[in-house]
Structure 1
C-alpha cells in the first residue's frame, strides 16, 4: 500500500488547496493508505518537505496549481521519487496536459493503483539567479506580463483573471526584438512572445504548443511574431483549439536547449510563477521525474 505526504498550497485557487484534498484524503485513508498533510509556507519550504518525504519512500502529492506542481516536481526531478498531482489552482494546466481524472474517486484509484510514468522536466537558468527545475513552459513576453497581472488581482478568479490580465498586457505591449538560440542555432525575431513548452497547455487551458509532449525529450518553441493587436487577439482565441500554429505569424521550432534574450529586460515565467527577467536558458531533462498519471 502506498503511503502519501501531501504538500499543500493553502491559498491555491484564491481560496484553499485543502478543500480539494479533503475528499481525496478520505478515500485514500479508507483504502488503508496513510496520508500526512504538510502546509507550505512558501516554495522553498515545499521543496524541503517534498524531498524529506520522498527520502522516506512516500509518494509526494503536490496540492495546488501549476506553481506547486512545478515546485514540488522540480524538487524531485532526477531522483527515484514518485509524484502525484492534486489540481487545486486556477489554471491546472500541467494536470490538464497529463489528462488527470477530474473526480476524487477516480484520482484516488489512480494514486493507489496507477503505474508510474517517467516524464521530462525543464532546467531553467538565468544570470544572478539560482538554477531551478519546473515542468510546464517557460514563456517570455506579453503572456508573462499578463500572468503577472493575473497573479496580482484579488477581485477575480479563474479564467476571468487571465482574460483581464491579458487585455491589460496586450493594450500596453511594445513589440520586442528577440534572440532565440535553439540547440546552438540563432533565430532573430520581433513580436509578442516566445514560449519553450514541455507540455501543450498554459494560461488556463490554452493549447499553446499542440504537438508538445511531456515525455519526448524535446521542447516546442512557439514564437508569435509581430502583427496587429487585432490579429493577435484572433490568435489568442485560436489557442483554445491549437489552430493558431497554422498562421504565418506563428512559428514553431524544436530543441533540447533554448536561450531567450530580448532588447529589454522582459519578464519570463515558468509554471505560472513570474518573478524574473530575461535572458533565460531552458534545458530539457528527459525522463527526469516519476509521476502517477
Structure 2
C-alpha cells in the first residue's frame, strides 16, 4: 500500500525526546520505503494546521510527539473525509500508543506507518473540543497542573510527582455527574471520562475502556482518607484500583459534570475546559493507522 507521510514533530515534546528520535525515525522510514517529509511545530495550533494541510495533500498526518499533539491532531482531522492519523511516540507518557497497541519504541512504530491498518476510532468531546484519551478533573486537575510545571528531567516520574504534590493540599470536593440522564452527587476525589484505557505515563485508570465501542468509561473516586488514597495509587498502574469500594465505573455517551468549586478539565495532558462541562463520545470519528492486531 502506497502511503505518503507528513511527520509532524513537536521539538519540545518529552523534554526533546521527539527531536532526538527524529533521525532514527527518518532512517527507518527510508528503509521501509515510505515517502515522507518532516515538519516541526511551533504550537499545538500550528500542528493542527499542518495536519489539515497534510490531509488535503493526501498524506497521513503523523504525530511524532506525546499525547498532547496526538489529541490536537485528532481534533484537526476529526470527521475530515479521507484523513488518516498516524502516531510515533515521542513524549513522556505516550499513553495513546499504550492504549492502542502502537509500539512504545519510535523506530518500531514506523512499521505501523508502512504496514498498519486504517481503523475507525472514537474520540471524546468536551464542549466542542476533541480529546482522544482521558478527560479528568478534581484531584487530577491539581496533579496535571503540577506535572506540567515539573522539570523535564523527571521524565515519566512527573506524573507521580504531580500526584504526590497535589495530595498534600487536597480537600474533597462535591461533584454532580449526569450520565445519559442518570444523576448522581457525591463527595470525593475525581471524575474521569475515558475514551482510552491509560493516562499519566502508564496509569490504567479505565482498564476496560475501548477506543471503538462508542462509549466513555466514567470513573469516579469517592471520598476516602488520604492515607488510603495514597496506598491505592500504585494499583492504578495495573488497573486493579477499580476493585476498590471507593471507585465506581459506568459507561455512557453523554456526561454532564459540575462541582462545588472551580476545576480545570485536563485531557491528553493539557487543559481542555472549565467546569461545568458536557463530555460526549463521538463514535468512529477518526481513522488511525494501527497494528494489524490492535488492542
The TM-score range, normalised by the shorter chain, is over 0.9
| Match runs of 1:227-238 below 5 Å | 227-238=224-235
Q: Is the 8 A contact 2:98 2:104 kept in 1?
A: no
CA distance, structure 2, for counterparts of residue 41 and residue 159 of structure 1:
23
Deviations 1:256-275 (A, max 9, x none): 01111100111210110026
Counterpart of 1:48 in structure 2 is 49
1:160 matched to 2:157? The reply is yes
Displacement of 1:23 in angstroms is: 1.2
Greater alpha carbon shift after TM alignment, 141-150 vs 96-105: 96-105
Cα 1:285–1:102 shift into 2, 3 Å: same
Computed over aligned residues only, the root mean square deviation of the Cα atoms, in angstroms, reads: 1.4
CA distance, structure 1, for counterparts of residue 9 and residue 15 of structure 2:
13
State the secondary structure of the residue aligned to 1:17: helix
CA distance, structure 1, for counterparts of residue 53 and residue 205 of structure 2:
35
CA distance, structure 2, for counterparts of residue 183 and residue 275 of structure 1:
21
Counterpart of 2:74 in structure 1 is 73
1:112 matched to 2:126? The reply is no
Deviations 1:227-270 (A, max 9, x none): 00011112211101111111110111110011111001112101
CA distance, structure 2, for counterparts of residue 137 and residue 104 of structure 1:
22
Give TM-score scaled by structure 1 length.
Answer: 0.94
Counterpart of 1:101 in structure 2 is 103
Counterpart of 2:277 in structure 1 is 280
Give TM-score scaled by structure 2 length.
Answer: 0.94
CA distance, structure 2, for counterparts of residue 186 and residue 158 of structure 1:
39
Counterpart of 1:217 in structure 2 is 214
Gaps of 5+ in 1: 126-130
Counterpart of 1:191 in structure 2 is 188
Q: State which of 116, 124, 144 in structure 2 corresponds to 1:147.
A: 144
Displacement of 1:87 in angstroms is: 0.7
Displacement of 1:16 in angstroms is: 4.3
Counterpart of 1:90 in structure 2 is 92
Aligned pairs, number: 288
Displacement of 1:74 in angstroms is: 1.7
Deviations 1:199-242 (A, max 9, x none): 11011100101110110100000000000001111221110111
Counterpart of 1:226 in structure 2 is 223
CA distance, structure 1, for counterparts of residue 107 and residue 198 of structure 2:
25
Displacement of 1:155 in angstroms is: 5.5
State the secondary structure of the residue aligned to 2:154: coil
